[in-house]
Amino acid sequence: MNTIAERLAAWAEAEEARFLGRLEDEEPCSRWIADYWRIVGDAAGRPAYRHVDGRTTDANGDRWAWSAAFIGAGVWQATRGAPWFAYCEWHSTYVRDAIARAEAGGNQPYYAIPIEAAALQRGDIVVQWRVGIGDGAPDRPITYARALAVDPFTSHGDIVVQASLTRAEIIGGNLADTVMRRTLTLDGRGRLRDTTQARGQWFALIRFAQ
């Protein structure tokens, strides 16, 4: 099928295949990450992103986290440059936008669903909260219900590339400094009930309408 979801999943698989587990500060991987940032920067109107690659460090000497740039670049490719996606260096930007679109209803190009409320499908983006910026206490995680009230918050998104009733395979960027595939165990109906898997606190999935 030539849908946004299928193109996004196929793009993620292709990125995994070309990285081959090589690290962000190696070439040509660093240059590929620069491409992600260029795409997201241009789409978001943030030209400073054009100067970021897999070796760029912040004031503390830490390399820039590029997992949201990975998602944004993939969506840009899959949607053929659609302007409606909330491109940003923060996953929480597009997550909050997708939740707001779900609440608004109507004919939305993408929208969010609570992670436990629907069976995962190929081409979905699944999202987990992580301890850090924005309500970062370990005992007070971001949930679907609270996400719109916190901006920004630290999170991570992966692209679903395979999904059955009992198992899903997901691909994300900036995992152990590369593009990596992980596995989630589902409940026999294709839903993620145990949200503590794979670093924990999964709370939303994002789905494309076309």
For residue 180, list its beta bridge partners: 172
CB-based contacts of 118, cutoff 8 Å, min separation 6: 191, 205, 207
Q: What is the mean pLDDT of residues 12-33?
A: 97
The model's pLDDT over 147-172, given as tens digits with 9 standing for 90+, comes to 999 888 999 999 999 999 999 999 99
DSSP letter at 112? E
Taking a C-beta distance cutoff of 8 angstroms, is the pair 149, 134 a contact?
A: no
What are the distances in angstroms from CA 141 to CA 72, 74, 134, 181, 195?
Answer: 24, 27, 9, 24, 12
Q: Is the pLDDT of residue 50 over 70?
A: yes
Taking a C-beta distance cutoff of 8 angstroms, is the pair 171, 159 a contact?
A: yes
Q: Is the pLDDT of residue 138 over 60?
A: no
The model's pLDDT over 92-133, given as tens digits with 9 standing for 90+, comes to 999 999 999 999 999 999 999 999 999 999 999 999 998 765
Whole-angstrom distance, CA of residue 144 vs CA of residue 69: 22
At 177, the amino acid letter reads D
Helix and strand numbers (H, E) in the chain are 4, 6
- Look up the pTM and report it: 0.95
